[in-house]
Amino acid sequence: MNLAGPFHLAWRYVARHRVQTLLLAGALGVVLALPVAVRVLVRTAEHQLRARAESTALVAGPRGSETDLMLSALHFRKGADEALRYSVCDALRDSGLAEAIPLHLHFRAQGAPIVGTELEYFDFRHLRVAQGRMITRLGDCVVGARLAREKGLQAGGSLFSSPEQVFDIAGTYPLKMRITGVLASSGTSDDEAIFTDVKTTWLIQGLGHGHDDLVKPENAGAVLSKDKGQVVANASVRMFNEVTDANVASFHFHGDPADFPIHAMIVQPHDAKSEAILTGRYQGNKEVQIIRPKDVLDGLLGTLFRLEGLIVTALALVAGAAAAVAALVFGLSFRMRQREFATLAQIGVGRGTLLLTKGCEVLFIGVAALLIAFGLIFLLRLLADAVIISGLR
Amino acid sequence: MPDGLQLTDLRFAYPGGEASVTVRSWSVNRGERVALTGPSGAGKTTLLRLIAGILEPQSGSVSFDGGDLRAMTAGARRELRLARMGVVFQDFALMDYLTVAENLLLPLRLGTGATLAHEVTARGLADRLEVGRYWNKPAAQLSQGEQQRVAIARALVHGPELVLADEPTASLDSARKMTAAHLMLADARERHAALIMVTHDPELLPLFDRVVSLEELAA
């Protein structure tokens, strides 16, 4: 039997009806790709979550959901607003059992989390600056590599923290932060965050501020009264929404920083014994909980894998149904084209050749569907890390 | 072994109908060009289909170059039609989604395979029938007359020994009708092929070696 003829005829048919062919192949391709896509995403999520969790011995935070605490401390997902006092961090350090790194996670800028922390965080996560330099003073920030690329941020630029209450004119104003550097890519959630000193996040929160120096003679007109060092000024006093070299000295905090809020802490015990003592010590604490991210993650992944199994089974059923629908579509299409096949038979084309022609059409569409499925999975593999990191935020 | 086409005591009726075609005895020799006439609905198209082996008679025989079509399997009849016959169908039987070139070479591509020589022949036929300029145009985009000329070229491209043409000039203007008819007649003469053409056109009838009516065949 001459194979080239049926192959050519089938190819010409699908090429002539390329829109319909692509629609059918695309639909089949997506259905075929879905179960694999779910598997790829789950594996990537597992890898991302596990790598981060295994590199973090303990996390401390306010009482509440352990999963929320793990996701917010490790992946900066915005959780509940409950906070700890900074003094808890000091207490942990003073215990001599562990190093503690505070994390303030309440604010965002351009949709990305602002992580208020201390310089130890960068050493702990092995983060280095790829462009510019590290934060040096109040109001400075460094941005993650992916965020910088996506938003076009670079050292020397600036960022405004997102306003908390748009219609509250007496509320906290957004702070203009100076970008001093861009971090090197780490392939983790750090790539999509903005890092600043924890004091800068307290500044955004309104716990500190900077304004005209009322002691200076040129601002004397703004002073209403002075009484034993207590100065009362009128509304003409300028409040600063940006920290500059010129005004940095005017910024100050009201209250004891030990009482200021943080939302989580990364806790690195000095040894296994210290870890056991710490976890035991905080077990019954009504305000603070200490979790092992790896243990929390194991529970979370167990649920995720069970769900994955169900979803893949459901998608396999959908794929089966789609294959049945595709068979029906082919059947109906061939029936609608009966006249065309009768014409070919009249010319003298044999039944085998006609069957082969139909088979080639099915083959072309099947191959196109497979190529689309492979393409989608390849694309997903490229983007999976970013998809998961964004999804965790 | 007799050359050409022989029909003997042929009788065919569509299911539930009366006999629509009856032929006592009829021969068409190789190289002979015959015009087949008869009133509309008399069974001319049916007779061509019986000769081509598309329909099977209830009785009698159709043989070509000594081979009895009734004794052949359906597959063998299809192979005979594809390789040794050229049929111009009344509805042209072109594939809408194929170009003129692809339609012309279709029987060859689905049969023994198309060679460069076949392509040259096809191009020559298309040029002579004035459809060569549509070589790469899909058949769906051609007029009725153009489609009919492509159908004529397709019936001749593989050098068939028997050409069956069912009113092949019905959609053509006077000049092109004559061109197409002369081409088919000359082709049959040159290649010593038998040609049976169904036509009512009085201008064309004198060009044939013989004119036969369906009534005569039944008598």
pLDDT at A237: 67
- Whether the CB-CB separation of A391 and A53 falls below 8 Å is answered with no
Give the tokens for residue A370.
């497979």
Task: Assess whether A25 and A156 both reside in one domain.
Answer: no
In this prediction, residue B114 has a pLDDT band, given cuts at 50, 70 and 90, of confident
Of A195, A97, A212, A110, residue with least CA distance to A161: A110
d(CA A298, CA A282) in angstroms, rounded, equals 21
Instruction: Give the ranges where A55-144 is alpha helix by DSSP (H).
Output: 66-75, 86-94, 120-124
Beta carbons of B111 and A346 less than 8 Å apart: no
Of B3, B87, B8, residue with least CA distance to B45: B87
Task: Assess whether A222 and A81 both reside in one domain.
Answer: yes
Q: How many residues does chain B have?
A: 219
**Chain B residues within an 8 Å CB radius of A343:** 89, 93, 95
Question: Left if phi > 0, otherwise alpha if psi is -120 to 50, otherwise beta: which for B92?
Answer: left
- Whether the CB-CB separation of A145 and A127 falls below 8 Å is answered with no
Residue where a domain terminates, one of A293, A327, A351: A293
**Chain A residues within an 8 Å CB radius of B80:** 348
**Chain A residues within an 8 Å CB radius of B97:** 12-13, 16-17
Task: Assess whether A12 and A96 both reside in one domain.
Answer: no
pLDDT at B178: 93
Does the pLDDT of residue A170 top 70, yes or no?
A: no
Give the tokens for residue B209.
């070696």
Q: Give residue-wise pLDDT tens across range B66-104.
A: 889 989 998 899 889 988 999 999 888 899 889 999 999
Q: Give residue-wise pLDDT tens across range B202-217.
A: 999 999 999 999 999 8
Residue type, B21: V
Residue where a domain terminates, one of A245, A269, A293: A293
Task: Assess whether A90 and A220 both reside in one domain.
Answer: yes
Q: B140 vs B219, which has greater pLDDT?
A: B140
If one counts the domains in chain A, the total is 2
From the list B80, B82, B110, the residue facing A9 with the nearest CB is B110
Query: What is the average per-residue pLDDT within A317-346?
Result: 89
- Whether the CB-CB separation of A13 and A363 falls below 8 Å is answered with no
**Chain A residues within an 8 Å CB radius of B107:** 347-349
ipTM at complex level: 0.80
A308: CB partners within 8 A, 6+ apart: A38, A39, A42
Task: Assess whether A72 and A43 both reside in one domain.
Answer: no
Cα dist from B215 to A73, A146, A302, A392, B37, whole Å: 99, 89, 88, 88, 9
d(CA A343, CA B154) in angstroms, rounded, equals 13
Range of the domain at A24: 4-48+301-392
Ranges of each domain in chain B: 5-218
Beta carbons of A348 and B85 less than 8 Å apart: yes
Task: Assess whether A11 and A151 both reside in one domain.
Answer: no
Does the pLDDT of residue B174 top 70, yes or no?
A: yes
Is some CB atom of chain A closer than 8 A to the CB atom of B87? yes
Q: What is the pTM of this model?
A: 0.68
In this prediction, residue A81 has a pLDDT band, given cuts at 50, 70 and 90, of confident
Task: Assess whether A65 and A195 both reside in one domain.
Answer: yes
> Residue B148, class by beta-carbon neighbours within 10 Å (0-12 exposed, 13-18 middle, 19+ buried)?
buried
Task: Assess whether A259 and A369 both reside in one domain.
Answer: no
A86: CB partners within 8 A, 6+ apart: A102, A198, A257, A258, A259, A260, A261, A262
Task: Assess whether A16 and A91 both reside in one domain.
Answer: no
How many helices (H) and strands (E) in chain B? 7, 9
Residue where a domain terminates, one of A237, A265, A293: A293
Of B90, B107, B7, residue with least CA distance to B50: B7
Beta carbons of A346 and B95 less than 8 Å apart: no
Task: Assess whether A262 and A325 both reside in one domain.
Answer: no
In Å, how far is A40's CA from the nearest CA of chain B? Answer: 41
Task: Assess whether A148 and A88 both reside in one domain.
Answer: yes
- CATH fold label, B5-218: Rossmann fold (3.40.50)
**Chain A residues within an 8 Å CB radius of B98:** 9, 12
**β-strand pairing of B210-213 with B59-64:** unpaired
Task: Assess whether A284 and A386 both reside in one domain.
Answer: no
